[in-house]
Structure 1
């Protein structure tokens, strides 16, 4: 199989999102060392992540360097969560304010909470 840029861009690379001290958000792709980007909104950040991955992978391919594939930890990435209607409404409204999907907003909030917990431990 020809492992070109499009091959790698279709792979499910994990993205970690953190709030930036200066405002906005920072995202990193742990499987692509040094692949970082930032954006003012979550919507902008997600666009910037795709651009950062594209640039990182294209650069590595151009230099004939190995491009790491995502680590498969056998997690589907799918979680079913039941929430009270009032919480669902609040989350949906916040996601709309940010201009992102409800799923992206929840992932961001969970990432933020986990990173804060990790800093304490």
Structure 2
């Protein structure tokens, strides 16, 4: 059986206390939102959500490393 190679990914994760739970978002992974009853639970939920998000993207072969802070575009302007 062929052993799958693992890659470690790191993402800034935001834990926001709200209405008795911690809401979790990951700015570089649009649409990823989860929550936990406490900070420890929220961290576990975040790891699971990030793993599922990345596995889905990799499975679809659409994953590419993105830097949300920069983007290149060519814009034409008439003067």
Same fold (TM over 0.5): yes
User: CA separation of 1:15/1:27 partners in 2, compared to 1, >3 Å: closer, same or farther?
Assistant: same
Name the residue aligned to 1:18: 16
Partner of 1:65: 62
For 2:18 and 2:41, locate their aligned partners in 1 and report how far apart those are by CA, in whole Å.
Answer: 14
Say yes or no: does 1:52 pair with 2:46.
no
CA apart distance, 1:69: 4.7
Q: Could you list the runs of 5+ residues in structure 2 that have no partner in the other structure?
A: 70-79
| 1:14-64 residue CA offsets vs partner (Å, 9 max, x unmatched) | 00111123x210111111111111000100000111000000000011111
The RMSD of aligned alpha carbons is 2.4
Q: Structure 1: which 4+ aligned runs deviate by more than 4 Å?
A: 69-72
- Aligned pair count? 66
Question: Quick check: which one's strand share is greater?
Answer: 2
TM-score for the superposition, normalised by structure 2? 0.69
Greater Rg by CA: 2
